[in-house]
Homo-oligomer: A and B are copies of this chain.
Amino acid sequence: MASGQGRVLELAVLGSLHETPLHGYELRKRLNALLGMFRAFSYGSLYPCLRSLLEQGLIVEEQPAPAAIVGGRSKIVYKLTAEGKERLQDLLTQAGPSAWEDESFGVHFAFFRHTEAEVRLRILEGRRSRLEERLDSVRTALARTRERLDSYTLELQRHGLESVEREVRWLNELIATERRGSSEEKPERSTDE
């Protein structure tokens, strides 16, 4: 049973197949290119997820033209079904913790183009408060134990704190841009799809 709770791969796959039908190998390449430094899914996750999506009827194996079979190597091309598109819309509407935790935020963000402005804003804000929560708790813990820590640990803490503070600042800019955009007009999506 693959991706029961961790819908994040499910979203990633559905979102990718929404653009164009793909087979596993190519799908993984695109996914990892799409997510860059944030995540890299492995086959051990991808194939079980594809099977699960098949069983749920959210995707189907596409029948290529016979000519294509003769020339090419055997590959299984998956495409979205109508139900799959519905589910994708569902997932894109989610604006709870499952959208802004570490593992999932990047994927949701990568498909923001297909997400409503209001949902985008809530995800961004949710992620920001999540990070600020952590910042608080780490800063508190640090204040209590600062004297007991050596210089390496201190440096590690400092660096960790700084990166997260930087990410919060990044989110602030994004949120400001979103607000500016949504008060005037839809932040123009290019002419794809």
**Interface of A toward B, CB cutoff 8 Å:** 32-38, 106, 109-113, 134, 138, 141-142, 144-145, 148-153, 155-157, 159-161, 163-164, 166-167, 170, 174, 187, 189-190, 192
Contacts and interface: CB of A to CB of B under 8 A. Distances in A.
A32 to B, nearest CB: 8
How many copies of the polypeptide does the oligomer hold?
A: 2
6 A-B pairs closest in CB distance: A37-B160, A112-B152, A33-B141, A113-B150, A36-B157, A36-B160
A113 B142 CA distance: 18
A192 to B, nearest CB: 6
A38 B190 contact: no
Contacts of A190: 150-151
Nearest to A29: B141
B106 A36 contact: no
A152 B152 CA distance: 36
A138 B189 contact: no
Given A109-B156, A110-B156, A151 B189 contact: yes
A98 to B, nearest CB: 18
Given A110-B153, A148-B192, A174-B155, A161 B33 contact: no
25 contacts: A32-B141, A33-B144, A34-B149, A34-B153, A36-B138, A36-B142, A36-B156, A36-B157, A36-B160, A37-B160, A37-B161, A38-B156, A106-B156, A109-B156, A110-B153, A112-B152, A113-B150, A113-B153, A148-B192, A150-B192, A151-B187, A151-B190, A155-B174, A159-B167, A159-B170
